[in-house]
Amino acid sequence: MLKKILSISFVVIFFILGLIFLVPKDNEYKVIEVNSPGDFVLDSGINIKFNDYTTFDSRFTERNKSIAANLSISEEEAFILGNLGKYWAENLMKGRKVVAQDGDLIYYKYSYKTKFLYSGFCLFNSKPYNQEAFNKRLNAVRKGSYQVLDLDTDICYKPTDSKVRELKNFIVLRRSHLPKALRRNTYKHVQIASPSEMRFDRGDIKVYFSDLTSKLKPDRSCSSDICKEILHNINRAQKTIDIAIYGYSTVPDIENALKAALKRGVRIRLVYDMDSKGGNIYENTFALTKLLSDNSSDLISPEAGAIMHNKFYIFDDQILITGSSNLSHTDMSGFNTNSIVVINSSEAASIYKREFEQMYRGNFHNLKSRTAESSVNLSGTKLKIFFSPQDKALQNAVIPLADKAQKYIYIPTFLITDTKTTEALIRAKNRGVDVKIIIDALNASAKYSKHSLLRKSGILVKTENYAGKMHSKSMIVDDKYTVIGSMNFSYSGENKNDENMVIIENREIAGFYKKFFLYQWNRIDNKWLKYNARSEGKDSIGSCTDGIDNNYDGLTDMEDSACKTIRDQW
């Protein structure tokens, strides 16, 4: 009997092993685009369509009109269902690794086709595949009040408005998920909002912004002015490119430009962050290190809690780009708010080059020596450069600026946790200075955030309420001084991390940044002066449809309970 059991066990084991080794390994792909719940583009370029089943289109089409008439529903309801169906499929599949097998997409052990058939969005012969699920979706649409937000003009329309049919870049949202001003259709467009006015260009010095309020989903395109400027300088570099970045997530245009630069003989060196376990916060960093093999990381540093948080580039020892933008798709596509400065100066480039060389040789964090010269005069524009942790930029630059401010201090920033900086801002407020701060929604829940103390002291602090992050680390003072850099207003930024900061003394640039700050300030409802917007959920516009885990809880969009209100309506 025992021999029989053993024989059967061996047969079962070999059968399972056979299945494992017989399953092809070359049919695993990543979903990079979702055209509809029945139409997917994989990273191999393969287009997967479920031809036996259809769904509503996400635009007004004759096909939608025909199917709507057949089902006795309105054309607008078909349009909304088409968009909600596309969002449902994107949230479930975009970015996932899948196996293309027998006309289906398999992820983990799940069949996408089965989920699609019973989703309520699937049509078979122009009729619902599952009538009960379809009725549930349709009733939710009829009970809800939906608006169409034009992402190019920030104007809201009802789905019945004829102008919706002409829109190219839009998103369909439940009315309750829009800021109050947009719900009232009284939203005033600010002149600075046009993309052509999100950059200052004097030739030898440029400033660029990206705007979290105008892009509700990240992508892999190099579509922001920030990314285009970096790309332009990679493409025209002739001899050297030195890059110091926190990490990397794939932006194909940047990657292709770097490959082309290597081919034409440009020497490219990379410095990047690595934690004590040999990891990096961004998923494609090590793919970049394979491409740019001339590199160095801070893994060897004895300070395990510190990070290499810089984001700067030096091109041909002449052009310097620095600021708050990581080399990530969320920053490069303009999903997050960031600011960078481009400086055409061999003197400024050489200062950053000395800092780069220290890290490249393995001296990170507190092992670095202080840079001897840090001031540059660029045709009347004074630049003061600081590096962390050796220069103590908060103590020696930010706090003195706050203490001598007379009119205003405006701060768009990822976070404020530093006690001494907070005290300086309170002092400024007490002597009558207008202090306004925008901080990232997620960091309003951070343990050491000082925003509550600042509010209690009478300072106006808004948490942003959009899908992207307020990622800038800036300060504008009295139409004269502008702070741009990689360093957050934190103890770690001051005392542990590798960071950089530029203080720009130029009235044109300060006035330009002030307009952009006030534009974003006005985009955020005054409700968030008192309350803290949740980074994922109905508080933050677009956060439940952006494909991003905004609150880092391991759950994305519809998987997150914070999006339950929106999930239930779908």
**Is 107 domain-assigned?**
yes
Place of tokens 């937000």: 149
Mark whether 96 and 159 lie in a shared domain. Answer: no
Q: Are residues 181 and 263 located together in one domain of the fold?
A: no
**What local confidence, expressed as pLDDT, does residue 196 receive?**
44
Q: Are residues 481 and 398 both part of a single domain?
A: yes
Give domain status of residue 282, yes or no. Answer: yes
Instruction: Show which residues are catalytic.
Output: 471, 473, 478
Same domain? For 85 and 168 the reply is no
The verdict on residue 566 lying in a domain is: no
Contact 90, 545 (CB under 8 A): yes
- For position 185, what pLDDT does the model report? 46
Q: Does residue 569 belong to any structural domain of this protein?
A: no
Residues 299 and 383 in one domain: yes
Dist CA 362 CA 113 (whole Å): 51
Give residue 110's pLDDT.
86
Asked if the structure places residue 564 within a domain, the reply is no
Same domain, 376 and 482: yes
> 371 and 241 share a domain?
yes
| 504 vs 514: CA distance, rounded Å | 13
Question: Average pLDDT for consecutive 10-residue bins of the chain (570 residues)?
Answer: 52 47 60 89 86 91 93 95 90 82 85 93 92 94 86 78 86 70 44 56 95 90 95 98 97 97 98 94 95 96 91 98 97 96 97 97 95 87 96 96 98 97 98 98 89 96 96 97 97 96 97 94 90 88 88 84 57
* Domain identity same for 106 and 238: no
d(CA 429, CA 423): 10
**pLDDT for the residue 238:** 98
**Using CA atoms, how far apart are residues 417 and 165, in angstroms rounded to an integer?**
47
Any domain includes 391 = yes
Concatenating the DSSP letter of every residue in 447-485 gives: TT--HHHHHHTT-EEEE--BSS-B--B-EEETTTEEEEE
- Residue 184 and residue 82 share a domain: no
Task: State how far the Cα of 251 lies from the Cα of 260, in Å rounded to an integer.
Answer: 15
Residues 300 and 344 occupy one common structural domain? yes
Q: Is residue 556 part of a domain?
A: no
Q: State how far the Cα of 517 lies from the Cα of 484, in Å rounded to an integer.
A: 13
How many CA atoms within 13 Å lie on the side-chain side of 489? 34
The C-alpha atoms of residue 187 and residue 176 are separated, in whole angstroms, by 15
Residue at which a domain ends, from 123, 156, 189: 189
Q: Provide the token pair at 545.
A: 């449809």
Range of the domain at 183: 145-189
Residues 123 and 161 in one domain: no
Write the CATH number for 472. 3.30.870.10
Q: Do the domain assignments include residue 284? A: yes
Counted domains in the chain: 3
367 and 328 share one domain: yes
Per-residue confidence (pLDDT) for residue 355, from 0 to 100: 97
pLDDT computed for residue 145 by the predictor: 86
Cβ burial of 46 (10 Å; 0-12, 13-18, 19+) is exposed
